[in-house]
Structure 1
C-alpha cells in the first residue's frame, strides 16, 4: 500500500475515533451512493401523482421535471422528465433564498455578524432604516412596503420591477428605497427584496474580494457541489431571491447538510444554533387566511409546524419537516427524524400541485417504516 494511502487511512481512522457518528453514516463523495428501493404499489402511486401525462401545449397539471429521494444519505429514488436530466442545472427560483441562508450561516459560524445587528452596518444603503436587523431580513420581516406579486399582478408587483425593469441593475439598492410601512420585526411579509438586501449584507460581511466566490469557497465546494450557477445583478450582487441553478443531486447535498444539523462528515459547516434559527417559526407570523396550506416562515426556510392554534400546513408530513420552496413547484424537503431529503424540480403553472400530497406518497414509499 503506498505511503500517501496509509497516511489517509490513518487520518480517517483517527477522525472516526473522534467522530464515530460521522463515520457510521453514509455521505456522498464525488457522487452519491445509490440503493434504489424496490418497485412497489406505493412507488407506483407516487409516480402516478408526480409524473402524469405531460401536456406541453397547455402546461396544465402537475409537471415534475425531477424527483430525487435520499434516505439516510443514499439515493433510493430518482426520475427525470421533460428536458431535465441528472446533469441539468435547473433554475431553483426561490429555493435560492434558503441557499442564501445556508451561505450566510457559514459567515455566522465564523463570528462575522450577529442576528441582532443593524443591517445598515453591512449595507449602508439601509441607513434610513436603522432599526432593521439582519434577523428581521431572514424572517422576511423588514416592514418595508413591498408587494410580492408575480405574473397575475405585474403592474403592482415589486418583485417584477426588481427582477425585470427598474430594479434589475441594483436589486438591493432598489429595495432599500422602499418606505418603512411598519416597524421592522413586527410583521411577516414575504419579500424577494428582503432576500436581495441579505445578499448585499453578505457582501459587506465578507468583503468585496471574498464575496465574488464566497458561496463556492464557503459552502458549495466543501459539499462537493460542482454544478452551481448563481446570477448577479448589475452591481455584481448575487440575486439571492431567485437565480441559482444546480442539479437535483447537488441540491440534495444542501438538504443532507440541513438534515444533519449543519454537519458534513467530520466538519461542522453550519452551527447547530444557525440551523435551529432557520427552523424556528417567526413569532409574529399570523398566517394568511387565503392560503390555508401555506407553510410557516422560519429563518429563510419554510416549516410544517402548528402555530397560533392552527394545525400544521401539511398534515400528512411530520411536524419536524422543513423546506426550501420556489416558484412553479421547486422544492427541497428535509425530514430529519425520518432521515429523508426530497428534491423536486418542476414547471407547474396552474396551482394544482400539492406539497402535502407529494409528501404523503413519498413517505408511504420510502420512509423506513414503510420500506419493503
Structure 2
C-alpha cells in the first residue's frame, strides 16, 4: 500500500473513532448524566430550600456519591441547578406546600405557581404526641434506662470510618410516649427528613381513607382508563398495593433503570408507570415496584375535582388529624403526589405516623383509618414467597415452612415496617407496644443493621405483658 493509501486509511479510522466518541458523548450526556444531575438538583432543592439545611453539608454528606455534579442554589428564584462541567443541566424548583419538582418539560415559572398553603394542626406545647412538649412522666416500670440509652447512643456511633452510618435521628415510642430521642449535630426535632420509600406507607393511608369512604374498592379493577382495552384491565387496587400487579418495572436505582428514569427524567411519573406492559399475569408474582405506588397516587388524584382539593387531601385527612404539622408531600411537575418516594417530615412526625398504625388507625378516640385497614396493611401478600411484604409495608412473618427465616430474625413476628432508602425506618412492634424511628444518610447498606439495633432497643423496654 502506498503512503497515500495508508494516509486515507488512517483518516477514515480517525473519522470512525471520532464518530464513536461523539456517539458515546451524546449517549452519556443525554442518557446517563441527567439521572445524576436530576437526582442532585431535586434532592438538594428539598434539603436546602424545603428543610433549610446548609448547602455545604448537603453536598458533603447527602450528595457524597456524586462529587462530579456541581450545584448552584438560587434562593431568590427558589431553585437549584445541577450540572456536570456545564453538561446535562437539571433545575429543581421549590413550591410552598409542595416542595421541589424538576423542570424537565415544564418551565420554572409554571412550577412555582403550583405552591399553596396547606392546612395544618395548631401548634401545642402539650407533651408529645398531642403537642411537641416533653413528657415529665417517670420511666414506665421495667424500662432499662441505661440499656436504652446505650442502644440509642450506639446507633450514632461510627465503627467503620470507611462505611458511615450517619444516623441523624432516633425516636423510641413505648405505650404512646417517647421514651428515648436523639438527634445528630446539625439536626433537631424540627428538621425535615426525606422518607424515601416510607412514603409508600403514607400512600397506603391515603388509599385506605378513600376505601373507608367508599370512593375506592380494593377488589375492583383499578380505575385506569389506559388499561381498559388490554389485559391490564384486570389489575385490582389490592394487587397494586401488594406489589402483585404483574406490571413490568425495573426497580433499580442507577443509569438506564426504570426507577430513576421515572423519578428524575420525566415530568409525569404516573404516566410512565401506567405505560408499562404486563410481565406476568396479575396476582401471580410479587415484584417490588415504585411504579405501582405512583399509579396509586394518580388514582387518588382522580377522586378529586380539583388539584387544590387533591393537594389538601393528605393534610386534611391524615397529617392534620394526627398532628403531623411538618409533613410535606412533594409532587412531580404535573402535580401528582410522588407516593413512592417523596414525603418529608420531622422525626417526631414520622413517629406519630407509626403510632397511628400501632393504635389501629385511631387517634384521640377518632378513627382516621377504616376498621381493618391496619390488619390488611400488615398481612403478608400471598405472592411474596418470603412473606416479607404486605401492602406498602414490609412484614416479618417469615416463610411458612421456615418461620425463622425472617426479614428481622431477632424481632417479633408481628413487627412491620415503613422502610426507605439510606436506612429510613418506622418500625412498629404491636406485641411490645413500640414504635422505633431511625433516620439517616447511610449510603452503604451493610453499614446499618436495623435488626440488631431494634433488638437492643426492645431488650431495654418493659417485657411483653400480653
Counterpart of 1:323 in structure 2 is: 417
- 2:293 aligns to what SS in structure 1? helix
Distance in 2 between residues matched to 1:241 and 1:36, nearest whole Å: 39
1:271-299 per-residue CA deviation (whole Å, 9 max, x = no partner) reads 23111110110001123xxxxxxx71101
- Is the contact between residue 259 and residue 335 of structure 1 (CA under 8 Å) also seen in structure 2? yes
1:62 matched to 2:160? The reply is: no
Given the two structures, how large is their TM-score scaled by the length of structure 2?
Answer: 0.67
What is aligned with 1:17?
none
> Deviation of residue 31 (structure 1)?
2.3
Q: How far does residue 354 in structure 1 lie from its aligned partner after superposition?
A: 1.3
Deviation, structure 1 residue 323: 0.7
Measured at CA, do residues 83 and 157 of structure 1 come closer, stay the same or move farther in structure 2, by a change above 3 Å?
Answer: farther
Q: Is the 8 A contact 1:232 1:238 kept in 2?
A: yes
2:399 matched residue in structure 1: 307
Match of 2:38 in 1: none
* Structure of higher RCO (CA pairs closer than 8 Å, 6+ residues apart): 1
Matching residue of 1:52: 157
Is residue 2:324 matched to residue 1:200? no
Aligned twin of 1:224 = 323
Query: CA contact under 8 A between 2:158 and 2:165: conserved in structure 1?
Result: no
Give the structure 2 partner of residue 130 of structure 1: 233
TM-score (norm 1): 0.83
Determine the C-alpha separation between the residues in 2 that align with 1:321 and 1:263: 19
Aligned residue for 1:237, secondary structure, equals coil
Q: What are the residue-to-residue correspondences of 1:1-372 with 2, within 5 Å?
A: 28-31=129-132, 34=135, 35=137, 37=139, 40-53=145-158, 60-119=163-222, 121=223, 123-127=224-228, 128=230, 129-150=232-253, 154-165=254-265, 167=266, 169-209=267-307, 210-287=309-386, 296-310=388-402, 311=404, 312-352=406-446, 353-365=448-460, 367-369=461-463
Structure 1 stretch displaced more, 236-245 or 178-187: 178-187
Tell me the CA shift for residue 343 of structure 1: 1.0
- Number of aligned positions between the proteins: 329
Distance 1:254 1:48, change over 3 A: closer
C-alpha RMSD over aligned residues: 2.2
- Give the Å deviation of 1:171: 0.5
Report the structure number with the largest CA radius of gyration. Answer: 2
| CA drift at 1:351 | 1.5
Q: Is the 8 A contact 1:125 1:173 kept in 2?
A: no
Cα pair 2:324 2:352 within 8 Å, conserved = yes
Find the aligned partners of 1:328 and 1:234 in 2 and give their Cα distance.
25
Q: Structure 2 stretches of 5 or more lacking a match? A: 1-126
State the 1:183 CA deviation: 0.9
- Segments of structure 1 that go 5 or more residues without pairing to the other structure are 1-25, 288-294
- CA–CA separation in structure 2 for the residues paired with 1:315 and 1:140: 23
SS at match of 1:344: strand
Q: Secondary structure at the match of 2:302?
A: helix
2:163 & 2:327 partners in 1: Cα distance? 29
Asked whether the 8 Å contact 2:152–2:457 carries over to 1, the reply is: no
Q: Secondary structure of the equivalent of 1:337? A: helix
CA contact (8 A) 2:152 2:170 kept: no
How far apart are residue 75 of structure 1 and its match?
A: 0.8
Question: Secondary structure, in 3 states, of the residue corresponding to 2:463?
Answer: coil
2-side partners of 1:368 and 1:202: how far apart? 40
Question: SS where residue 178 of structure 1 aligns?
Answer: coil
- Using the TM superposition, give the Cα deviation of residue 28 of structure 1 relative to its aligned residue in structure 2, in angstroms: 2.3
Change (3 A) 1:74 1:205: same
The superposition leaves residues 172-198 of structure 1 with CA deviations (integer Å, 9 ceiling, x where unpaired) of: 100111111101111111111111000
1:36–1:76 Cα contact (<8 Å) kept: no
Residue pair 1:32, 1:74 contacting (<8 A) in 2 also: no
SS of the residue 2:216 aligns to? coil
**347-356 or 302-311: which moved more?**
302-311
Deviates more, 1:295-304 or 1:174-183: 295-304
Alpha carbons 1:36, 1:75 under 8 Å: kept? no
